[in-house]
Homo-oligomer: A and B are copies of this chain.
Amino acid sequence: MACCEMKGYLTYLILWIIGKKSSNGAEIGRELEKRRGTAPSPGTIYPALKDLRNKGLIDVDDDKNYSLTAEGKKELSIACKFFCNIFYDVEEMIKHCK
C-alpha cells in the first residue's frame, strides 16, 4: 500500500474474531492471514493476546483456547460501534471497490 499501512485494526480484529468463535493462537493467525494476505508474526499475535488478557477482555483455557470474557463482550460492542461510526459509509466503499 503506497498511501497507508492501515495498522491499528489488529487488536480490534482479534477481539472480533474471538467473539465469532473461540480459537487458539494459530487459528486466529490463519484467520488474519486470510483477511490481510500476510500472516501475522508470532511477535504480533501473542503479545496482543497477552495484552487483551491483562485487560480482562479475554480468557484462555488449558487447551490454549481464547474466548471473550463478559467484559470483553462489552468492550467489543463499544469498539464495534466506534468502528461502524468511523466507517458509516462502508457500503459505499464496498461498492466502490467491486
Identify the A interface with B (CB < 8 A): 1-13, 15-16, 20, 35-37, 52, 55, 57, 72, 75-90, 92-94, 96-97
- Whether the pair A9, B12 counts as a contact (CB closer than 8 A) is no
Closest B residue to A93 by beta carbon equals B80
**Number of copies of this chain in the oligomer?**
2
Which 7 A-B residue pairs are closest in the complex by CB-CB distance?
A8-B8, A4-B11, A80-B97, A7-B8, A4-B12, A81-B97, A35-B86
For the residues of A in contact with B, the DSSP-based class is helix
Neighbouring B residues of A52 by C-beta, 8 Å:
3
Shortest Cβ gap from A86 to chain B (Å): 5
Residues A77 and B96 in contact in the complex (CB < 8 Å), given A3-B15, A8-B4, A8-B8: yes
